[in-house]
A and B are shown apart, each in its own frame.
Chain A
């Protein structure tokens, strides 16, 4: 699985949504991406990519796209 596939899978499974919803998806756009869903997503991403996210990055992780920028800071390249 590529990093991008892993990233998408984390969203799809944490929020129970389809892949076509991902582009442009923002925090609270779907019911399941609330504060609880956010904690679930962060934990899955940390586990999947073996990173430990900073509290500020967890707070700033406000959209599908923004999340990619944040992970890049942890040397997780999502276009490979």
Chain B
């Protein structure tokens, strides 16, 4: 047993293998590393070199998420992000961050690493035990950048690991960390919380969330770029089989019955075209789940209408009112609830803590600002235009991650 500031650190389990994908294998060393300042120069230049490799990667075009990550971490963008953090002058990293990446969004582990390092922490990142090509592409690129002698010190701050679900290993990494970043679902969070943290450490949890889209029919009908809107909506939903927390599942139409009905016709047919263009493949299991979800809603809710569709790509369930348990119904793979009203007010009746991202079409920022901000809604952490639901930002789920993951040293 080792002791660190009076806290007993469990020994690294030897019976179960921890696979190191990139970085430092000497995990015990991590709590002794000096925290960095947020936006440390070496960290920025590490990410810039990583960006160049990913952007020119021969498989890049097959994985838009890898390219999007590469674009995010390039120096120009990080410096732009830095500008909103001029108030961080006396911040330092908290020490060690232990990240548990989700299994629904493959590239997420890389973004989690980026916020951990950019806020000044050493990072142990557990990638999903599911195997994704994106994990290998990014981990291999990280390894090759870390081989450069100028990053030999930074290499000690990064461990990308993979292991099967195991409490002993969770206990070990949890005992080393100052911040534990758990990307949900809710079950993963409960599982990890069984592993004790040192007294001053804390969790940042990204639980199961529910997201929705609001469309003003009249404005949408006037828009010339309906094809682009369809692709944007596709990127928010089908790109992750509608399984990302930020993927809309409810479409709230605002307008008269007549206008909404016209708008729906355009919206869904343009989306269908986009699905054909993108060659979206629907798994048979998902098609069955979607059908079951539609039948279940028809049984449970009053006056539900299930519009006829050409194929199984888009499943729609039209509601006459908004049931409170809607956030529990998360089918995925292109299953949408729709609700129509003259005004957006009804949303307040159902917005709970579970609501995360509101995407919009036909509204302006200021309209939505006055509609939702300061009106006492328990949920909604992000309001972004359609197409930007999955766009990562240093502020996520209501947390300003850089501020949250660094320590403020007050000097008088």
Report A's interface with B, CB cutoff 8 A: 32, 35-37, 39-40, 42-44, 46-47, 51-53, 55
Report B's interface with A, CB cutoff 8 A: 51-52, 55-56, 60-61, 64, 67-68, 70-71, 74-76, 79-80
In the bound complex, do residue A44 and residue B76 qualify as a contact, i.e. CB atoms below 8 Å apart? no
Contact of A36 (CB < 8 Å), options: B51, B56, B67, B79 = B67
A47's nearest neighbour on chain B, judged by CB, is B52
In the bound complex, do residue B67 and residue A52 qualify as a contact, i.e. CB atoms below 8 Å apart? no
Q: List 25 A-B contacts (CB under 8 A).
A: A32-B61, A35-B64, A36-B60, A36-B61, A36-B64, A39-B55, A39-B67, A39-B68, A39-B71, A40-B55, A40-B60, A42-B71, A43-B51, A43-B55, A43-B70, A43-B74, A46-B74, A46-B75, A46-B76, A47-B52, A52-B75, A52-B76, A52-B79, A53-B76, A55-B80
Contact partners of A53 in chain B: CB under 8 A:
76
A41's nearest neighbour on chain B, judged by CB, is B55
Instruction: Kindly provide the distance from the CB of B323 to the nearest chain A CB, expressed in whole angstroms.
Output: 37
Contact partners of A46 in chain B: CB under 8 A:
74-76
Contact partners of B61 in chain A: CB under 8 A:
32, 36-37
In the bound complex, do residue A43 and residue B52 qualify as a contact, i.e. CB atoms below 8 Å apart? yes
A36-B60, A36-B61, A36-B64 known; A43+B71 contact, CB < 8 A: yes
CA distance A52 to B52 in the complex (A): 14
Contacts beyond the supplied A36-B60, A43-B55, A46-B75: 5 A-B pairs with Cβ under 8 Å: A43-B51, A44-B56, A46-B74, A47-B52, A53-B76
Contact partners of A42 in chain B: CB under 8 A:
71
Contact partners of A44 in chain B: CB under 8 A:
55-56
Contact partners of B60 in chain A: CB under 8 A:
36, 40
A46's nearest neighbour on chain B, judged by CB, is B76
Contact partners of B56 in chain A: CB under 8 A:
40, 44
B76's nearest neighbour on chain A, judged by CB, is A52
Contact partners of A43 in chain B: CB under 8 A:
51-52, 55, 70-71, 74
Contact partners of B67 in chain A: CB under 8 A:
36, 39-40
CA distance A37 to B75 in the complex (A): 18
CA distance A53 to B75 in the complex (A): 10
Contact partners of A55 in chain B: CB under 8 A:
80
Instruction: Kindly provide the distance from the CB of A80 to the nearest chain B CB, expressed in whole angstroms.
Output: 23
Contact partners of A39 in chain B: CB under 8 A:
55, 67-68, 70-71
A39, A43, A44, A52 — which one has the most chain B CB atoms within 10 A of its CB? A43
Contact partners of A40 in chain B: CB under 8 A:
55-56, 60, 67
Contact partners of A35 in chain B: CB under 8 A:
64
CA distance A36 to B76 in the complex (A): 17
B49's nearest neighbour on chain A, judged by CB, is A47
CA distance A35 to B228 in the complex (A): 12
Instruction: Kindly provide the distance from the CB of A41 to the nearest chain B CB, expressed in whole angstroms.
Output: 9
Instruction: Kindly provide the distance from the CB of A25 to the nearest chain B CB, expressed in whole angstroms.
Output: 18
CA distance A43 to B70 in the complex (A): 9
Contact partners of A36 in chain B: CB under 8 A:
60-61, 64, 67
